Amino acid sequence: DGVIENFTAAMLEDYLDLHGETSGNRGVSLIEPKALDRYVTRLDGARFQVHFHAIGDRAVRECLDAIEAARRANDARDARHHICHLQVVHPDDVPRFGSLDVVANCQPLWACAEPQMTELTIPFLGPERSGHQYPFESLRRAGGRLAFGSDWTVSTADPLQQIEVAVTRSPVGDRSARPFLPDERLDLAAALEAFTMGSAFVNGLDSSTGSIEPGKDADLAILDRDITASDAGPMGDARVDATLVGGEPVWMDPEMDW
């Protein structure tokens, strides 16, 4: 589908207009649902991993329906299909991520009450649907696997800022702001796992990277503080001192005495 700001994200119910009335517009499914079922079934049968773009709750449901159709038609396997963005997820569909083994591929920087949310999204969704946005903790509790990323260049590529928003649900640029849907905040361990093992899993690399274990590649970011400490300060303020890929340094802070 598209995006909510221009009413192209596929929704189960109409968008609201500027007066809070139904607009008659429910957005766009770029692939007709029955065709999507056929395509995903064929791709899954050929052992492809399928990546879906889904912002609206109808788009999310149509993607889940297509994966369910593929699972009925084909042998069960470790497919790691993933649905990306997941801005609005109907509560009825939250548990389907776990039951269908679908990865929730999310970009947490957007899960806060910044102007794009308060001015271009909430007024056109209304209060009930606005409360279904970016349900990270609900997905996790229901057994869904989270994988976090940036969607750069649409948002920052800095994972530390993204993790901060996942944990606080407040904008990095306005940390005093009221948390947006605070019940969907993740704890730090869950947010870190989504950005490490979750991302490695969805890319089929979890046997070689994503965690610090004997036998895995030493793909590491060394920070200037213990981010789990009570006095660590805001996550987004942490600084990377060095980055290693396969145990070899690929970046080192030139201001530090190595």
pLDDT value for 75:
86
**Arithmetic mean of pLDDT, 134-162:** 96
List the domain boundaries for the chain. 4-213, 217-258
Q: Report phi then psi at 46, rounded to 5.
A: -90, 10
pLDDT value for 256:
86
pLDDT, tens digit, for every residue of 59-83? Answer: 999 999 999 999 999 988 999 999 9
Q: How many CB atoms lie within 10 A of CB 156?
A: 16
pLDDT, tens digit, for every residue of 168-190? Answer: 999 998 898 999 999 999 999 99
User: Which among 88, 94, 112, 92 has a CA at the least distance from the CA of 7?
Assistant: 88
pLDDT value for 257:
83
User: Which among 182, 105, 178, 167 has a CA at the least distance from the CA of 139?
Assistant: 105
pLDDT at 224 exceeding the cut of 90: yes
**Spatial CB neighbours of 182, under 8 Å, sequence gap ≥ 6:** 169
Q: pLDDT over 70 for what percent of the chain?
A: 100
Q: Report phi then psi at 8, rounded to 5.
A: -105, -10
Instruction: Using the CB atoms, write b or e for 79-99: b if 16+ within 10 Å.
Output: bbbbbbbbbbbbeebbebbbe
- The answer to whether the beta carbons of residues 25 and 10 sit under 8 Å apart is no
As a residue count, the chain comes to 258
**Spatial CB neighbours of 29, under 8 Å, sequence gap ≥ 6:** 1, 10, 36, 58, 59, 62
pLDDT value for 246:
96
pLDDT value for 50:
99
Which architecture does CATH list for 4-213?
Alpha-Beta Barrel (3.20)
| Helix (H) or strand (E) segment spanning residue 83 | strand 82-85
- The answer to whether the beta carbons of residues 47 and 76 sit under 8 Å apart is no
Q: pLDDT over 90 for what percent of the chain?
A: 95
pLDDT value for 196:
98
pLDDT, tens digit, for every residue of 116-144? Answer: 999 999 999 999 999 999 999 999 999 99
Number of helical H runs and strand E runs in the chain: 9, 7
pLDDT value for 76:
86
pLDDT, tens digit, for every residue of 86-115? Answer: 999 999 999 999 999 999 999 999 999 999
